[in-house]
Amino acid sequence: MTSNAEKLYSLIAKDTKKKQSLFLLALNNPKSALEKICEIGDELDIKVTKEEVVQYLSSIDDEQTKLWLIKARGGL
């Protein structure tokens, strides 16, 4: 079963503009980036919590995602 966080991450990953915007936001304010991901989920009717997003991202075997997640956790 695919989680909402996984569905949302997949959609964001395919949208270069959204992905780049979130990356830049995460560099300056990781907590806001998590909030923005949840807002995007609301807009797309894919409800997620920050905790679900963090949990999903920590399960991904992608070095860039893991580096961002470490930064995001430090900002929370």
- 15 CB neighbour count, 10 Å cutoff: 12
Residue with tokens 């989920």, as numbered in its chain = 41
Is pLDDT of 75 > 90?
A: no
Where does the pLDDT of residue 4 fall: very low under 50, low under 70, confident under 90, or very high at 90 and above? very high
Is pLDDT of 76 > 50?
A: no
Flag whether the pTM goes above 0.85: no
What integer pLDDT is reported at residue 8 of this predicted model? Answer: 93
- Digit-coded pLDDT (tens) for 15-73: 989 988 888 888 888 788 889 999 999 999 999 999 998 888 778 777 776 666 666 65
